[in-house]
Chain A
Amino acid sequence: MKWVVLTMLLLPFATAVVTLWAGHRSEVATKFLAVSGSLATFGLACVVAFPQLGHADPLVVTYTRTDSISPAIGLAANVDQLSAVMVLLAASVSFLVQLYSVGYLHDDPRYPSYAALVSLFSGSMLTVVVADDLWMLLVGWELMGACSYFLIAHHWELAEARAGAVKAFLMTRLADLGLLFAILLIGERTGSYRISQVTTILSNWDTSLPALLIVIAVIGKSAQFPLHSWLPDAMPGPTPISALIHAATMVAAGVFLVARMYPIFDADALTLLGVVAAITMLVSAFYALVTNDLKRVLAWSTVSQLAYMFGALAVGAWSAAVLHLLAHGAFKALLFLGAGSVVHAVGGRTSMTAMGGLRERIPDTFVTMTVGFGALAGVIPLVGFFSKDAIVHAGFDEAKHHEILDQPVAWVIFGAMVLTAALTVAYSMRAWLRVFFGPVDPDVEVHESPLTMRVPLYLLTAATVFGGLVFADPSRILGERAEEDLFHGSTAILMTALVAAVAGLVVFLWVRYDGADPWPPPVEELQPPEDHIYDLVLVRPIGALARAVVINDRDVVDAYADGAGASARGLGWVLRLAQNGSVQAYLMVVVVGAAAIAVAAGVLS
């Protein structure tokens, strides 16, 4: 099994290299390599993951280690229940995205590099989720950032794609410094970089600062407040990439990291995490409600749902958070691939003003996306309902008993959760109605997507519909960390009532305004105000400073040179010599130099 894990990790990287090499030599071969490589990775992922589900012991293996620095760094894997489910999520969504992309990018000349980057991306995510060594985790963590940079900039002729890519990379990399310093501190304080060791020897080291630094890292990676604006701006990338980034990799890695390192999180770190999550889930849900662009609506909803998971982790609901991560992985991949199908159908436009009345013209996309929106809103009995229900219940428990957080903080988180649940229903309904109902634009030529795009949609729909079965006995997947009952009848009834009431309200408004947008955005596309602050406080001063440095360097160089020429005769002599350029002159310098050494050595000794 040890080597199966390693093969699973290396296969996507090998696939990337081979795909790139095949390149434009043969289009069919490139597509075949990309899809079959990711299918094989998925197969290996199943072999690795299934034995580790439930009550199995974690598989901890070391491949190599470098002992010449202390603590040692190494290549080591640790597949526990959490890793196993993440491996399955990442490998399955990556495979579906590769399959879908064959149709979606069927005549894109940049397909080879695209497919290679998707393979690289999934390999990086698999590295993150099975890594036992923290440096190995960081390698995967930042490689994902680089892959997302290149993929967001796939359409590099578009200014917003270029800007979005740079923003995504810089914001996440800035936050990644938190992880870098956290790892350094953990290594110094525990004498080990192995996750399996540092999360088990807790009594004798101070975990507070590393945990806070990890929170900073995940704020960037998972696009939480105040670094939340990069994710919506990453939308100019191809839509399948959004599915990959939002559902199974990149942003999911932030939640995974907190879940993985959960034992080191103390009340301080969890309070910070909870407060950030409460702000983020509300703010981004509001943005989702008043955004016109379908993909940006989904992006804001991802930010909001990730905050939900962090909120769950902050109130101690580890298993609910992990299950919501999985559920979200399924339905958000479904929604983004569905959105890709819609965008594909209406000829590449992403604004919802270009859509409307599409339900009869793209029926497969309509059915599958309806399930996706339903799961996002929390409609019984879809998977999103169960996971959200478990989180809200845990939030309420913590608010009542405040075992981890201060009571006011816990109440704030719980309040944000309920309010966000309501807002989520509202924006899901709004988007669903605007895309599939209402007036049909007869000028738009609409065509249903090819089979390679519809198959992934139906597979993800199945996962979204039947995923709720997991909640019958979560310990069969997550083992002893999910022993408690995650289904609560009273919360379920209240939440369903909430969903029904808000949905009713949206439909009422929709009918009353005669199919017009119930929440028209105040401006065409809202941009978070933080961006202006960053621009004013960071980007512009650094730009000004950079120009000053260049001018200064130029002037200093001239001053040195002038000074040298004018003042020092000796220097002038060397300069003239140099400009003569004759070999004899150099030989003389060397000889004189050697003589000087001889004299000096003699005098001094």
Chain B
Amino acid sequence: MNHAYLDALVAAPFATALLVMLVGRRSEGAGVGLAVLGSLVIFGWSIPAVLEDRAVDAVWIESLDVHWHLLLDGISAPLLLLTTLVTLCCQIALVRHAPDCGGRASLAALLMLIESGVIGAFLAVDMVLFFLFFEVALIPMWFVINAWGDQHDPIGRRRAATRFLVFTVLGSALMIVGFLIVKADSGTFDITQVSSASTVAAVLVGIGLAVKTPLWPVHIWLPDAHAKAPTVGSVILAALLLKLGTYGFIRFWLPLVDPADDILPVFAGLAVVGIVYGALACLAQTDLKRLIAYSSVGHMGFVVLAITSYTTIGVQAAVYASVAHGLITGLLFFAAGAIKDRYGTGDLAELKALYGAVPRLAGVLAFAAMASLGLPGLAGFWGEMLAIRSALFAHDALPHDTFVVLSVIAALGVILTSAYFLVMMRTLLQGEPGPRGSSRDASEASQRVETKADLHWLEWAAWSPLLVLTVVLGVAPGLLLDPVATAMTGVLR
């Protein structure tokens, strides 16, 4: 039973992808419809995941001692549900929004392929299996950015796609070397049986995951990739692929780390630098999608800071912040994409007064911005609050004063985060209606901020799960904190 359930979670998106591709050759619309249906079924199938822990362990490649070992517990279940839900939202979004260059069904199929890889990676506890699923998720994303990315900038989108792939593949290479060292030391690829590892292995795996998360200073692939990807690509990248990094940190890195080593404070320091650096970068951004992309650097900084505190609350905070970031940043990218659809640009210098032009869309963006800046009562708050708390009261073996200072800096990063979102709202949503900028191009600019069609019902349908969950997780933190607490055995020493 467990076997069938978990295998189906991985196989169903893959099978759907193939079907969508086949049907899509005949009819694009039918292909996308099938993708919506498939992702809806997969989402429904994933819901019972919250009921009980499940595991599958079978020998897969005997000569290498690689096991088909999948585990569904309180840490992977929330991320699994996030994956199936966000994929469903993206497929619904594709129904209305046909990319300019066509190939909608192929795009839908690639998204299903990514879903398959992401689900596999969230369930895997065998290190090699995790690595392989990770790669399965990456390569379709390269196609998504490369082919369906920013149509105005073919060179830029190719460069962004390649940079994304090169960085993450290099990260994977370091990670797999780290895994091999662990294997050499402890004789197994099964992370649940690893009780200790050499510092070298922990550093290598840590750097590999740092690229994927991403952590400052190896974040530089991210802004381009997020900004150039098509809307659904940005949503999947931010909401799901970044979570592979944070999940990897929790599942595959923490068990390797010795809290007495200096490795945790170093990563905590990088995380906090990322929080401040990302916020500063956002303050001076002029492009909406780049701004949202850089905001992810800061949010991922909170996740890693929480993990490095080496406490149960830290892991709870990390999972919470990961899920919340998935929902909220997904929503932000959807809204940014909708603006770009309507006005052909995301340039903050060319748009303004959207409250007046497209009030509902502007309202959703304002809501998502408030959630992203960590307003209490919405999902973004608990993860970041608990991250600060976990750093303030970090594990006893860690340097106490260092972590107190880091938590205070992280808290100040919250203020900077508020600042850039308020600046964004001031320039984009508010302002005097009428032409913007110099009088020379005033006629062109004023055309761009004219009133356009407000939100379509399909956009509401795609976004409302994210909206609702942002509120629900904001008022009922126990929903996510409880399952993580039950899954903590073996994560920390």
Interface, chain A (partner B; CB < 8 A): 64-66, 68-69, 73, 113, 135, 138-143, 146, 149-150, 153, 156-157, 162, 165-166, 169-170, 173-174, 177, 180-181, 184, 188, 542-543, 545-547, 549-550, 553, 556-557, 560-561, 564, 571, 574-575, 578-579, 581, 586, 590, 593, 597-598, 600-602, 604-605
Inter-chain contact A142/B377, CB cutoff 8 Å: yes
The interface-forming segment of B43-51, B83-91, B101-109, B158-166 is: B158-166
**Pairs of residues from A and B, 3 with the lowest C-beta to C-beta distance, nearest first:** A66-B478, A156-B430, A546-B283
Inter-chain contact B393/A188, CB cutoff 8 Å: yes
Docked Cα-Cα span, A604 to B432, in Å, equals 67
In the complex, chain A residues whose CB is within 8 Å of the CB of B161: 578
Given contacts A69-B313, A156-B431, A543-B284, contact A579 B158 (CB under 8 A): yes
Inter-chain contact B283/A543, CB cutoff 8 Å: yes
From A557, A579, A601, give the contact of B224 (CB < 8 A): A557
Given contacts A174-B415, A177-B412, 5 further A-B contacts (CB under 8 A): A140-B377, A142-B375, A177-B414, A590-B135, A602-B63
Chain A's closest residue to B282 (CB) is A546
In the complex, chain A residues whose CB is within 8 Å of the CB of B282: 546
From B163, B166, B281, B389, give the contact of A553 (CB < 8 A): B281
Docked Cα-Cα span, A141 to B484, in Å, equals 28
Inter-chain contact B64/A601, CB cutoff 8 Å: yes
Is residue B65 contacting chain A, with contact meaning CB distance below 8 A?
yes
Chain B's closest residue to A188 (CB) is B393
* Interface of chain B residues 341 through 394 with chain A (CB within 8 A): 353, 355-356, 363, 366, 370, 375-377, 381, 385-386, 388-389, 392-393
Chain A's closest residue to B74 (CB) is A68
Given contacts A156-B430, A173-B418, A177-B414, contact A553 B220 (CB under 8 A): yes
Distance (whole angstroms) from the CB of B473 to the closest CB of chain A: 12
The interface-forming segment of B179-187, B329-337, B438-446 is: B179-187
Distance (whole angstroms) from the CB of A546 to the closest CB of chain B: 4
Docked Cα-Cα span, A153 to B388, in Å, equals 30
From A542, A560, A571, give the contact of B280 (CB < 8 A): A542
Distance (whole angstroms) from the CB of A604 to the closest CB of chain B: 4
Chain A's closest residue to B185 (CB) is A604
In the complex, chain B residues whose CB is within 8 Å of the CB of A564: 166
In the complex, chain B residues whose CB is within 8 Å of the CB of A180: 385, 388, 411
Q: Quick one: which of B128, B363, B416, B426 has the most chain A CB within 10 A?
A: B426
Inter-chain contact B281/A550, CB cutoff 8 Å: yes
Distance (whole angstroms) from the CB of B357 to the closest CB of chain A: 12
5 contacts between A and B (CB under 8 A): A66-B481, A146-B370, A157-B432, A556-B220, A598-B63
Q: How many positions in chain B have a CB within 8 Å of any CB in the partner chain?
A: 79
0 or 1 for each of B140-175: is its CB under 8 Å from A? (1 = yes): 001100100000000000110111011001000000
Distance (whole angstroms) from the CB of B211 to the closest CB of chain A: 12
In the complex, chain A residues whose CB is within 8 Å of the CB of B381: 139
> Looking at chain A's contact residues, is the secondary structure mostly helix, strand, loop, or mixed?
helix
Inter-chain contact A170/B419, CB cutoff 8 Å: yes
From B187, B224, B393, B419, give the contact of A605 (CB < 8 A): B187
Inter-chain contact B184/A604, CB cutoff 8 Å: yes
In the complex, chain B residues whose CB is within 8 Å of the CB of A174: 415
Distance (whole angstroms) from the CB of A51 to the closest CB of chain B: 27
Distance (whole angstroms) from the CB of B381 to the closest CB of chain A: 8
Given contacts A157-B353, A557-B224, contact A550 B285 (CB under 8 A): yes
Chain A's closest residue to B143 (CB) is A581
Inter-chain contact A157/B430, CB cutoff 8 Å: yes
Is residue B482 contacting chain A, with contact meaning CB distance below 8 A?
yes
Docked Cα-Cα span, A184 to B309, in Å, equals 15
In the complex, chain A residues whose CB is within 8 Å of the CB of B98: none
Q: Quick one: which of B64, B143, B393, B486 has the most chain A CB within 10 A?
A: B64
Is residue B316 contacting chain A, with contact meaning CB distance below 8 A?
yes
In the complex, chain B residues whose CB is within 8 Å of the CB of A575: 162, 166
Docked Cα-Cα span, A181 to B404, in Å, equals 11
Inter-chain contact B139/A143, CB cutoff 8 Å: no
Is residue B429 contacting chain A, with contact meaning CB distance below 8 A?
yes
Inter-chain contact B284/A139, CB cutoff 8 Å: no
